Amino acid sequence: MKNIIGRKSEIKQLSDYMDSEKSEFVVVYGRRRVGKTFLVRELFSNKFTFYLSGAENATKSVQLFNFNAAINKYSGNDFPLVDSWQQAFLQLEKYLNGIKKAGRKIIFIDEMPWLDNTKSGFLSAFEYFWNTYASARKDIFLVVCGSATSWMMNKIIKNRGGLHNRVTRQIFLAPFTLNETEQFLKSKKIVMSHFQIAECYMIMGGIPYYLEQLERSLSLAQNIDNLFFAKNAVLRNEYSKLYASLFKKPEKYIKIVEVLAQKRKGMTRYEIVKLSKIADGGGLSGILEELELCGFITINPHFTNQKKNKLYQLVDFYSLFYLNFVKKHKATDANYWSSLIDNSVHRAWTGYSFELLCQIHILQIKTALGIAGVLSYVSGWRSRDTCLTDGAQIDLIIERNDNIINLCEMKYANKEFVITKNYDANLRNKRTAFIEESKTHKTIHITLVTTYGIRHNEYWNNIQSDVTLDDLFSF
């Protein structure tokens, strides 16, 4: 467990489930490369009663061969190779029945979707094993993982057949926070300032596998050139693999992701339908739900609670970076990213990405404001009649139960942020428009989230509170 960075909440959950007095069926899910397998193996590897991992694109016979090897390894027996999953699970039952030692029997089935080949019979055999055997005992701790989120959701979590409501626990494994990313980099002896870690995060997100590729002898810019823009760059071809691994038919998912990438502040459902040409209906709802469950998009409620004004926003940093820079840059140029540092394109990208970084660290912002214990609601707002055009917009609103509303503005700079006369007027106009359109009677506080704080000038006193990048690293 000493090798696990962060994941305190998930470790506590899994440990608590281990201590329950009944058999548990735990699903751990999340996007590719986020560390699901690593977490379970590091936490329980020396305690596994049985561990099987599906093999990608392998035939049923190969999967059963791997099952046979695993059960003989863990049982110390010499079970014969079988040709059906029904027989395989009967062998697992026989092995479990033969264990005399009391205590939890930990069964880990990784990459479960890969085991369910067409007409393989895996899922029905697994259902029968859990329903008639494992759930009837009190000592089984079954953990299943899989990156193919659509399969995991439809066949396991939302199963309408034999596994309906059989999952006892669910854990969504999210990317690292900034704090966890810093811990991870330190464990790899990679030295970066908070400012550099933030930019790294805005490119890769908190995805452990991507962060693992960084070389400590190189600067951040050199690393990005090597990983995305050099010939045979490791993360250049990750994009297509990412969505293909998660979704059985990824084309529509990718289409929606690429449409959302065009408007970084988010789109209404109407806009998505209009630009993607995907029919509005249940199919679209399912795609949007699965993208949200994987952490690729967020659905931000409008402050007025108007359903039609909900904004769907792409929040996967890797996908945004790939679509805005790598996909558009067809040629391989080993120094492409280094050449962009601090030009107008780079500044525009960092400005938006920092806004997104703040939105996914809302708990840290609330803590810095001293309102972590105050019931609050997070939303966004855009002025009326601006659905398809740019208009007054506030990306982050914190409405508190103590009758205060924080209108949050996020500003990325490599030094203290200076509030100019024009920016001060813009803030006041935006505040006025929000009050008039929302009809709120609550007190409005303007909050600025910046990288290095705000310079104290004649306009500084018009800001009620400020949060810095360091605050986002608090936990």
* Level-2 CATH architecture, domain 239-322: Orthogonal Bundle (1.10)
Q: What is the pLDDT of residue 387?
A: 46
Averaged pLDDT, 389-409: 89
Whole-angstrom distance, CA of residue 471 vs CA of residue 410: 13
Averaged pLDDT, 172-186: 97
Using a 10 angstrom Cβ sphere, with 0-12 exposed, 13-18 middle and 19 or more buried, the burial of residue 311 is buried
Contact 49, 14 (CB under 8 A): no
Averaged pLDDT, 126-133: 98
Please tell me the pTM assigned to this model. Answer: 0.94
**Least confident residue range of 18-22, 36-40, 115-119, 331-335:** 331-335
The predicted-structure confidence for 337-373, as pLDDT tens digits, reads as follows 999 988 898 999 999 999 999 999 999 999 999 999 9
Q: What is the pLDDT of residue 331?
A: 67
Q: What is the pLDDT of residue 384?
A: 77
The predicted-structure confidence for 51-71, as pLDDT tens digits, reads as follows 999 999 999 999 999 999 999
Q: What is the pLDDT of residue 451?
A: 98
The predicted-structure confidence for 431-461, as pLDDT tens digits, reads as follows 999 999 999 999 999 999 999 999 999 999 9
**Least confident residue range of 203-212, 338-347, 390-399:** 390-399
Q: What is the pLDDT of residue 333?
A: 77
The predicted-structure confidence for 266-303, as pLDDT tens digits, reads as follows 999 999 999 999 999 999 999 999 999 889 999 988 88
Q: Given pLDDT bands bounded at 50, 70 and 90, which one contains residue 1?
A: low
Residue type, 208: P
Contact 204, 191 (CB under 8 A): no
Please report, for residues 104, 275, 299, the alpha-carbon distance to residue 355 in angstroms, rounded to integers and kept in the order given: 45, 24, 16
Averaged pLDDT, 205-210: 97
Q: What is the pLDDT of residue 179?
A: 98
Q: How many CB atoms lie within 10 A of CB 414?
A: 10
Which residues have C-beta within 8 Å of that of residue 356, sequence separation ≥ 6? 202, 264, 313, 315, 317, 320
Residues of the chain with CATH 1.10.10.10: 239-322
Residues of the chain with CATH 3.40.50.300: 8-172
Determine which helix (DSSP H) or strand (DSSP E) holds 51, and give its type and residue range: strand 48-53
Q: What is the pLDDT of residue 308?
A: 63
Tell how many helices (H) and how many strands (E) occur in the chain: 20, 12
Contact 81, 65 (CB under 8 A): yes
The class level of CATH for 8-172 reads alpha beta
Nearest in space to 314 (alpha carbons), one of 359, 369, 379, 374: 359
Q: Given pLDDT bands bounded at 50, 70 and 90, which one contains residue 391?
A: low
Q: What is the pLDDT of residue 225?
A: 96
Nearest in space to 40 (alpha carbons), one of 74, 85, 10: 10
The predicted-structure confidence for 208-246, as pLDDT tens digits, reads as follows 999 999 999 999 999 999 999 998 899 999 998 999 999
Q: Given pLDDT bands bounded at 50, 70 and 90, which one contains residue 388?
A: very low
Contact 407, 444 (CB under 8 A): yes
Residues of the chain with CATH 3.40.1350.10: 361-472
On the question of pLDDT at 335 being above 80, the answer is yes
Whole-angstrom distance, CA of residue 407 vs CA of residue 413: 20
Which alpha helices (H) appear in 247-300, and where do they start and end?
A: 251-260, 269-276, 282-293
On the question of pLDDT at 118 being above 90, the answer is no
Q: What is the pLDDT of residue 102?
A: 95
The CATH T-level fold of domain 361-472 is Trna Endonuclease; Chain: A, domain 1 (3.40.1350)
The number of C-alpha atoms within 13 Å of 341 and in the hemisphere containing its C-beta is: 13
